[in-house]
Structure 1
Amino acid sequence: MKCSFTMTPDPLDPNKVTMVWTQHGLSIAKYDQGVVTTIPRISLNTEELENGSVSLVYRFINTEDEGQHRCEVEYEGEEGEVDMHVTVRAAPDILYLRMDSDPQSSEVNLTCEASNFYPLNISFTFKRKAVTLKTERVTSEENPFVWPVSDGSFAAESVYSVDVATILGSTEPFTCEVAHEALDQPMSREVMNPVAPVVSLVGIAVLCKESQVVCMAEGFFPQSAIFIWRKSEEVVKTEDSQSIYHDTYSAESHYKFTPYSREPLSCEVKHMTGVSERKYVTYSGLAQVEIIWMTVAITIIIFIGLFILWWSSVGLFPLIPLEVDGVPRALQCTLTGWALRMVTVEWSRNDQQISVDDDEETLGDPPEYSMERLPVKDLCCVDGNVLRLEMKLMIEEPEGAKFKCQATHRLTRRSQECSLEI
């Protein structure tokens, strides 16, 4: 602000000038015969003093600077003064329109906020498709939607409630216009349409170990979303989102637990746009019940395998008589199994032992009998021998005698026998 004066006769002597600036009766700056004193934020420009002009300079303006200012000048006993009125105007430099929603509610609040403006008088207008939905003028500091800012300016907001179905039923955006006397034309902001979250699960639950899985919701708008965790159909955890904003919102929810079974665990996100598809946790490892059943199954398989090995170690087919001139002169049967060299063959007649064969081809005692083992080919999975007991010429005929062949595996202790009465 410039304060100018003229003095006669010329020229003017700066060392004889006293100039005082006051506001509301309080001194804010003074030039006293070459000495300058001011309050903070203010300075005096005395470069044009010899020409009768001094300027009061504010480094920055706030609302306290509004009002009456007076410039008083004294020069060699002569005095003069002039009053100036300062009007402060500050246009809104922050304006945003947000959509506040509660997933549990059927209504959404559109909040339009303006800040750092002065004086207080301001108006908000909500529109959609160029149709005015609501206009509100804020003029009083008693309004609950008005609050002061530290520099003396004001902030205010206006709220418009609208049904969720109305928002979702059209792709047309909502706008808010703010009009203020410091603006050449109204400012406007547009709020984006609701966007459903993209839900995913991160992490694998390990059975019988403490595990943590993360449910992530990304790219949604507006901000509010609720995470719902379920075991089967039972809700085990509900959590409001702590959202991070980057064009759209993102949030996540953590669930810690120690699983002992593969009971379905799922996460879903409830948002203004609806409830998302459930995402199910993937399990790894074995549950206690599965370990028990697997142990039992392996034990049974091993037992069955051992039983098959035991059962197949020795097999003996019935005795067949070989006759010469109608008289039996030899007996023959087939031996099957594995590791037949470990099979002991015992022949007996009328329960009297004839011989025990330990892989010997002939019997030396008694001399009237001999035994042979002949290999059998083309058998599947097992070995085979033909066992033959030959009866040499003897005094008594074998008629009426009962012969028996017994085969015993020395490793598995399985024994088989067959008999024939002549």
Structure 2
Amino acid sequence: MELQESWKNRLKKWQEQNKKSFAEWWDKKSNSAKVLCAAALSVIIFLLIYFTVIRCSSEDSAGYWNFIILIVSSPVAFVIWQFRDENQRKDINLKEFQKLSEWVSGTHLPEIKIINKNTTKSSFTTDNESAILPEKQITEQIEEYSKEYGQKPDNAHLGTFSKWNGAVALQISAIYNLLPFFRGDYGESFRLPAFNLLKSAWQSMQQESLNDLNEPGEFYQPEGVIIDELEQTAQSPMGIALTQVLLSLNRESTQLNLRDFPETLPNICLAGIDFDFSEIKEKAKEKARDLSQLNLDSADLRAANLCSVNLHGAELFNANLSYAKLQDADLSNADLRYAVFTWKELRKSRSLLSAKIRIKNFSRNIYPYWKQTDSQIWENLTEPEQKEAMQKFCNETRMIIFDDDGNVVAKRQS
């Protein structure tokens, strides 16, 4: 009984693998190649019918031959019907994607109307004593500003919400509905546009706080307050929706969808994103945290929660990791040269084996908080003392320090 069940499972697995392989092979073929394959199948069907039926039959009725023609031509007819059906579905999906893009971008949000009114009053007077003198003109300008807001009527008896709140809810819903397009359920052609839309939405959502960090405005806010704003925005309903879709797995649940777009990851802005988001399923968390070997050069990861994230071999050249949480993160073989980080967080990572940094990274971001004393300020150390400090650090952490020319200055001694 067990042997029979085992053979059934093997047969089922073999059928699924062959079906998947055939589907992949068929999808890669052009439309003309598919028509030729269908025509070849029609020829085979005709030959089979001819040698088994037609040669042995003396039937000459029109219905008999029409039935044979129908059978022979059915493969080509089916392929052509499939083309038309695919084109129709693509048109429908394209219209749906365009509508979702409009909702995600917020073009449907009701705007506050600002009305400007300019009133100009003029009066003319003439000096009576001398008619030669020019007329004196007195001009008075009045500017009026008014704003119009949409408001829910006070006498609404139903448990509803305002037009603005409804538009925001529609925007959040549209973000969730982008997941099938991002995952490739409706074809590969929608995946990259969906990803670009999602990452642009995240950057736009955090841009105001990032601007305050880069260039403090008229009203100064401490950096800690701005970082809290970044984290709170990431935990807002819109931030949660974007996090769930951006960190979603592919259809096989084997890896992050964003791993399929390595060319768009450099310079990506994921400031404040939480890779330890509680609503991500526990089984999927490990794969959702896998950023190993990705090119994240110049990525903006300020205030991101990267706890337990796998950054093994990641290119973090010139990335901004200030205020990012790195507890238990795997930074082995990661390239941190020119990156912005703090030793306070870096030291909490699970592994720093062969992670790459520069001398300036060590002297500015690490040494003052590592073992520097008042009598051992970096600038006051001699060159041999500086080399000794870097070597000691590399022996402890197993990191590698480079100079600006890319030459190894210090690494762990075996």
TM range (shorter): under 0.3
**Structure with the higher fraction of residues in helix conformation:** 2
Normalization by structure 2: what TM-score? 0.20
Normalization by structure 1: what TM-score? 0.19
Structure showing greater Rg: 1
- Tell me: higher relative CO, structure 1 or 2? Use CA pairs within 8 A at least 6 residues apart: 1
**Structure with the higher fraction of residues in strand conformation:** 1
